[in-house]
C-alpha cells in the first residue's frame, strides 16, 4: 500500500541525510542548497516487536514487516508558492504525500551554509508554514474566481462557497486548516482539493548535544507542545548516527535532563505511521507471520482485500484474536477458544490494532 510521508524543510537542513539513514539508501546529501531536485523515494519497514513475539509462539518460515514510503523532497524557500527556488514543483511533490515531516535545523556550524545566513529555527518554521498556507490560499482564491465552474464531484453551492470563505479568512490569519474543526461532510469536500495545510504534520529537529541546540529545542517544544503537535528532536550528523546504541550514558543523561527521549530512526518511522492514522493487523501461519497496514476505522472485509482480492470478493467471516490475548495464552489456540477469546467477526467488524486474523472465504 502506498502511504507516503514527505520530508520537507528549507534547503540544506539535513533532509536527505535523514532519508539516507532511514532508507539505507545513498542519495546525494551535500553541503549546498537545492542538492535534491527530484524527490527521492524510499520504502522503510515498520519494525514491530509484536511480530517477533508472535513468532516465539508459532513456528513459521519467515517474518514480514509492513512498510511506509518516505519522500525526500527538494528544499523550499520564501516565495516558493509564487515560483521562487524550485517553487511550485516542490509544492506539487508535497501534494502527493499523505503526511508531512517538517525538518528544522537546530544546530550551529559555520561550515554548513544556511540559506538565510543565520540560525533561527522558529523563523525557518514560519517561512515553510507560510508557503504551505499561501499555496492553499491560491487554490481557494482560484476556485472563487471561477466559481461557476463545477468541480469534479461538488457543485459550488452556497454551503461550499461559505466554507471556502471561512477557510480563506482563517488562512489569512495564519491558521493552517488542520487546526480547524470541520464536519465529516466538509472534510470530504476539502480533502478532494488536497490542501497542504490540512495534511497531518510533525516537526523533526536536526540537533546536536550542544547547549545552543538545547535552547532552540526548548523554544520549539514550548511553542508546539501546547498545540499538541508532535516534535521529535534527533541527532543525525556524520559522526553521531541517529541509532540510539551509539549514544553513551552521559549523553543520554543530558537528553533525559531535557525531557527529550533519545530516539532511533524507528521512532520516526512509527511516529509517521501514527501521523497517518494507520494501524497494524497480523496474519500468522507456518509459511509466514506478517504485518499488514490499514487506516484506522477500516472494515475487516476491506482489510482482507489487501491480502488477496479473492478474500474480499468471497469474504465469509474472520477469526480474530487480539495480540494481547494471544500472548497471554502463550499462543495456545485451544485455551484462547476455551476462554472465549477467539472471536468470529462479520464483514462490518472494524479492525483493531494488533488483531491476529484468519480469513474464511469462498470463491
Q: Which three cell numbers stand for residue 160?
A: 461550499
**What is the DSSP code (8-state) at residue 61?**
S
Q: Which residues contact 123 (CB under 8 A, 6 or more apart)?
A: 116
Residue whose C-alpha is closest to residue 78's, from 129, 32, 117: 129
Q: Does 40 bind Mg ion (CB under 5 A)?
A: no
Q: Give the DSSP H or E segment for 62.
A: strand 62-64
Closest to ligand GTP by CB, 238 or 248: 238
Does the protein bind Mg ion through residue 207 (CB under 5 A)?
Answer: no
Placement of cell 532511514 in the chain: 22
Instruction: State yes or no: residue 143 binds ligand GTP (CB under 6 A).
Output: no
Instruction: Measure the CA–CA gap between 238 and 29, rounded to whole angstroms.
Output: 11
Asked if 93 is part of the footprint of Mg ion (rule: CB under 5 A), the reply reads no
Q: Is 21 in the site for ligand GTP (CB under 6 A)?
A: no
Q: Which residues contact 133 (CB under 8 A, 6 or more apart)?
A: 171, 174, 176, 196, 197
Q: Is residue 67 within 8 Å of 2, Cβ to Cβ?
A: no
Nearer to Mg ion, 16 or 207 (CB): 16
* Residue 46 CA neighbour count, 13 Å, CB half: 25
With CB under 6 A as the contact rule, the residue among 3, 5, 17, 342 that binds ligand GTP is 17
User: Is the CB of 13 or the CB of 220 nearer to ligand GTP?
Assistant: 13
Q: Does 36 interact with Mg ion (rule: CB under 5 A)? A: yes
Residue 107 binds: one of ligand GTP, Mg ion, none (C-beta under 5 to 8 A by kind): ligand GTP
Told to check if 45 binds ligand GTP by CB under 6 A, we report no
CA angle 166, 168, 171 (to 5 degrees): 110
User: Which CB sits closer to ligand GTP, 35 or 58?
Assistant: 35
Build a one-symbol-per-residue string for 188-227: x at contacts with ligand GTP by CB under 6 A, - elsewhere.
------------------x---------------------
Q: Among 58, 63, 64, 112, which residue sits at the site for ligand GTP (rule: CB under 6 A)?
A: 112
Among 5, 8, 11, 91, binds ligand GTP (CB under 6 A): 11
- Regarding 106 and contact with ligand GTP (CB under 6 A), the answer is no
Specify the 3-state DSSP secondary structure of 336. Answer: helix
Comparing every residue's Cβ against ligand GTP, the nearest one is 75
Taking the complex as a whole, the smallest distance from the CB of residue 64 to ligand GTP amounts, in Å, to 30
State how far the Cα of 344 lies from the Cα of 226, in Å rounded to an integer.
Answer: 43
* 64 contacts 289 by C-beta, under 8 angstroms: yes
Can residue 130 be called a binding residue for ligand GTP (CB under 6 A)?
A: no
Residue 184 · residue 157 · CB < 8 Å: no
Residue 313 CA to residue 327 CA, distance in Å, equals 31
Binds ligand GTP by CB under 6 A, chosen from 237, 258, 319, 322: 237
* Distance separating alpha carbons of residues 78 and 122, to the nearest angstrom: 14
31 binds ligand GTP, rule: CB under 6 A: yes
Cα(322)–Cα(311) distance, rounded to whole angstroms? Answer: 20
Contacts of 120 (CB under 8 A, 6+ apart): none
From the list 1-9, 11-19, 49-57, 82-90, the region that binds Mg ion by CB under 5 A is 11-19
Q: Binding mask 284-323 vs ligand GTP (x if CB under 6 A, - otherwise)?
A: ----------------------------------------
For helices 121-145 and 158-172, angle between their N-to-C axes, nearest 10 degrees: 150
Binding residue (CB under 6 A) for ligand GTP from 6, 12, 51, 293: 12
Q: Which of residues 62-91 bind ligand GTP (CB under 6 A)?
A: 74-75
What does 293 interact with, of Mg ion, ligand GTP, none (CB < 5 to 8 A by kind)? none
CB of 36 or CB of 197, closer to ligand GTP:
36
Which uninterrupted H or E stretch holds 319? Answer: strand 315-322
Q: Which residues contact Mg ion (rule: CB under 5 A)?
A: 15-16, 35-36
Q: Which residues contact ligand GTP (rule: CB under 6 A)?
A: 9, 11-17, 29-31, 33-36, 74-75, 107, 109, 112, 206, 236-238
Amino acid at each position: 500500500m502506498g502511504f507516503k510521508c514527505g520530508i520537507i524543510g528549507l534547503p540544506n537542513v539535513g533532509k536527505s541525510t535523514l532519508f539516507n539513514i532511514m532508507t539505507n539508501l545513498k542519495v546525494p546529501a551535500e553541503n549546498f542548497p537545492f542538492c535534491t531536485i527530484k524527490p527521492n523515494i524510499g520504502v522503510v519497514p515498520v519494525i514491530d516487536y509484536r511480530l517477533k513475539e508472535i513468532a516465539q509462539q508459532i513456528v513459521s518460515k519467515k517474518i514480514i514487516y509492513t512498510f511506509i514510503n518516505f519522500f525526500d523532497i527538494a528544499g523550499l524557500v520564501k516565495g516558493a508558492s509564487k515560483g521562487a527556488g524550485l517553487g511550485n514543483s516542490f509544492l506539487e511533490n508535497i501534494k502527493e504525500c499523505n503526511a508531512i515531516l517538517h525538518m528544522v535545523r537546530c544546530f550551529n556550524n559555520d561550515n554548513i551554509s544556511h540559506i538565510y545566513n543565520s540560525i533561527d529555527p522558529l523563523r525557518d518554521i514560519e517561512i515553510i508554514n507560510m508557503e504551505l498556507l499561501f499555496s492553499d490560499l491560491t487554490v481557494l482564491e482560484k476556485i472563487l474566481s471561477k466559481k461557476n465552474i463545477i468541480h469534479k464531484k461538488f457543485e459550488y453551492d452556497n454551503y461550499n462557497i461559505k466554507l471556502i470563505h471561512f477557510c480563506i479568512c482563517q488562512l489569512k490569519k495564519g491558521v493552517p486548516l488542520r487546526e480547524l474543526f470541520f464536519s465529516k461532510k466538509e472534510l470530504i469536500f476539502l480533502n478532494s482539493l488536497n490542501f497542504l495545510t490540512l495534511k497531518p504534520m510533525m516537526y523533526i529537529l536536526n540537533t546536536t548535544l550542544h547547549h545552543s541546540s538545547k535552547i532552540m529545542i526548548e523554544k520549539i517544544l514550548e511553542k508546539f507542545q501546547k498545540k499538541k503537535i508532535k516534535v521529535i528532536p534527533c541527532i543525525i550528523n556524520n559522526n553521531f548516527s541517529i541509532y540510539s546504541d551509539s549514544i553513551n550514558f552521559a549523553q543520554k543523561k543530558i537528553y533525559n535532563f531535557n525531557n527529550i527521549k533519545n530516539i532511533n530512526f524507528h521512532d520516526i518511522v512509527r511516529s509517521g505511521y501514527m501521523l497517518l492514522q494507520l494501524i497494524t493487523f497480523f496474519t500468522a501461519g507456518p509459511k509466514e507471520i506478517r504485518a499488514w497496514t490499514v487506516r484506522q476505522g477500516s472494515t475487516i472485509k476491506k482489510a482482507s482485500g489487501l491480502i488477496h482480492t479473492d478474500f474480499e470478493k468471497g469474504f465469509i467471516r474472520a477469526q480474530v484474536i487480539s495480540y494481547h490475548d494471544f500472548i497471554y495464552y502463550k499462543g495456545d489456540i485451544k485455551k484462547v477458544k476455551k476462554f472465549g477469546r477467539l472471536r468470529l467477526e462479520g464483514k462490518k467488524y472494524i479492525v483493531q490494532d494488533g488483531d491476529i486474523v484468519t480469513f474464511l472465504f469462498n470463491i
